[in-house]
Homo-oligomer: A and B are copies of this chain.
Amino acid sequence: MRYRKIPDETVRRLPIYLRGLLFCSQQGQQNISSNTFADLLGTNAWQIRKDFSYFGGFGTPGVGYDIKKLTREINKILRLDVGHRAALVGVGNLGSAVLAYPGFKTYSFEIAAAFDTDPRKIGRKVNNVIIEDIANIGTLKKRNIDLGIIAVPRKAAQEIANALVQAGMKGILNFSSCYIVVPRKVKVITIDIAMDLARLPYYMPIR
Contacts and interface: CB of A to CB of B under 8 A. Distances in A.
A199 to B, nearest CB: 6
Contact of A200 (B173, B194, B196): B173
A124 to B, nearest CB: 16
Contacts of A147: 200-201, 204
B103 A201 contact: no
A9 to B, nearest CB: 11
Contacts of A192: 15, 19, 103
19 contacts: A11-B202, A15-B192, A15-B195, A19-B177, A19-B192, A42-B181, A78-B201, A78-B202, A79-B204, A93-B100, A93-B101, A94-B97, A103-B193, A103-B194, A104-B194, A170-B205, A171-B204, A187-B203, A191-B193
Interface of A: 11-12, 14-16, 18-19, 40-42, 77-80, 84, 93-94, 96-98, 100-101, 103-104, 106-107, 109, 146-147, 170-171, 173, 177-179, 181, 185, 187, 189, 191-205, 207
